[in-house]
Amino acid sequence: MASLSFSLLFRHSETTRRGASRYSSNRGQVFIVQEESRKGRKIVQIMVLVLQNPIVIFRQGNLKQTTFFRSQRESAVVRKKRLLKANLSMCSSITEKVDKAPQKVTFPIVVNGCTGKMGKAVAEAAVSAGLKLVPVSFSSSEESGRVVQVGGMDVKVHGPSGREGILASVCDEFPNVIVVDYTVPAAVNENAELYCKIGVPFVMGTTGGDRERLFKTVEDAKVYAVISPQMGKQVVAFLATMENMAKEFPGAFSGYSLEVIESHQASKLDTSGTAKAVISCFQKLGVSFEVDQIQQIRDPKMQLQMVGVPEEHLSGHAFHMYHLTSPDQTVSFEFQHNVCGRSIYAEGSIDAAIFLHKKVQSNADKRIYNMIDVLREGNMR
Ligand SMILES: NC(=O)c1ccc[n+]([C@@H]2O[C@H](COP(=O)([O-])OP(=O)(O)OC[C@H]3O[C@@H](n4cnc5c(N)ncnc54)[C@H](O)[C@@H]3O)[C@@H](O)[C@H]2O)c1
Ligand SMILES: O=C(O)C1=N[C@H](C(=O)O)CCC1
């Protein structure tokens, strides 16, 4: 019975160098180590790492189960002793993973733009991450009054009228709420002004709008916010590297010419905010290039034939190509970041919300953050 339910839950994925078999499921990982005891008896140790505590250790034979709940009050010494007692020294790499397991954080979250692709993906990721999705979302007047199903919940959609009162009530009913905004460029400033007026911390994933005005609004209101045109962890790391290069070697690409092509789903309303951020680094590196020189591709036929976007991702992709050529055309550089789908941004947005929640709880002095700050503090799950 036990082995049946085990095989239904976990699938074998590899045999580790230490001879342990690793099985995985969406609940976590199981390591099975087989040993001979001094009396020649076969001892099977099974270690279950459930990603969000507790850690459960089973020892077969007497099938005695030991459950450890990691308590925040447990000191490092006590935990070390406990792990030693559990004879886990052979699995040092595993225990390292356990030590790095994030503490479960939960708080209410409002996702505005739930009717759109990103809003829906973020709301679903929020529910999967164990956050409490507030069943209220702001959208366009055309969508007003709709109820959308996200993450197994019915979310009521509100148009532009009466938003201030609705958001104020949400904040009263759901203390510590964080808002995530994935709407449209034309709504960025008005929405940020509302969040600042109410004083609710927010993650602004929506691109475009008047970015200078956006930062000034948040600065003046002293509201906590993460603002970033790019939430994908690896793309953010690339952007951070570009920023470092520009800081370390200003003018290194003086005289080089730059070609930038970005391809997104036909429904995208603005030029890539990520491309704009990367271009600002190239400008510091000495390249003369203006944002209106970016070549935007929104035609699905070209995306299929020229860019190489997989057909199933025509409705949601972000391909970026940057090509640098030296003045005498003897040297060239190419950078690309091509993303299909929305999950990379949805996960990053949840990381940003968790990061922001911690900043608010710790009453941090700094109030405005970008995704590089989130990445730097290791808050990416
Ligand atoms: N930061 C990132 O990593 C990242 C990633 C992907 C997309 N984006 C940005 O997120 C935004 C949304 O992208 P998407 O692909 O989900 O677009 P989408 O068109 O699928 O969704 C936008 C939603 O906003 C709603 N909306 C329209 N007017 C509104 C208003 N006044 N107030 C509130 N909602 C309104 C629309 O009805 C729609 O449901 C874009 O600006 C896009 O560039 C950012
Ligand atoms: O699909 C979009 O829209 C995206 N927008 C962001 C941008 O403009 O940079 C990030 C990539 C996807």
The ligand 1 atom at the shortest distance from the C-alpha of residue 115 is 39
| ipTM of this predicted structure | 0.98
| Residue nearest to ligand 1 atom 21, measured at CA | 116
| Residue nearest to ligand 2 atom 5, measured at CA | 272
The pLDDT tens digits of the residues spanning 122-169 come to 999 999 999 999 999 999 999 999 999 998 899 999 999 999 999 999
Strand partners for 376: none
Q: Is the dihedral of CA 77, 82, 85, 87 positive or negative?
A: negative
Q: Which is catalytic among the residues 268, 320, 357, 359?
A: 268
Q: How much distance in Å is there from the Cα of 273 to the middle of ligand 2?
A: 6
Q: How much distance in Å is there from the Cα of 243 to the middle of ligand 1?
A: 26
The pLDDT tens digits of the residues spanning 4-45 come to 344 444 455 666 555 556 555 554 555 555 555 455 555 445
Is the Cβ atom of 318 under 6 angstroms away from ligand 2?
A: yes
Is the Cβ atom of 228 under 6 angstroms away from ligand 2?
A: no
The ligand 1 atom at the shortest distance from the C-alpha of residue 207 is 41
pTM of the model: 0.76
Is it the case that residue 374 has pLDDT exceeding 50? Answer: yes
317 is catalytic: no
What HEC string does 283-338 produce? HHCCCCCCHHHCEEECCHHHHHHHHCCCHHHCCCEEEEEEEEECCCCCCEEEEEEE
By C-alpha distance, which of 52, 350, 348, 359 is closest to 176? Answer: 359
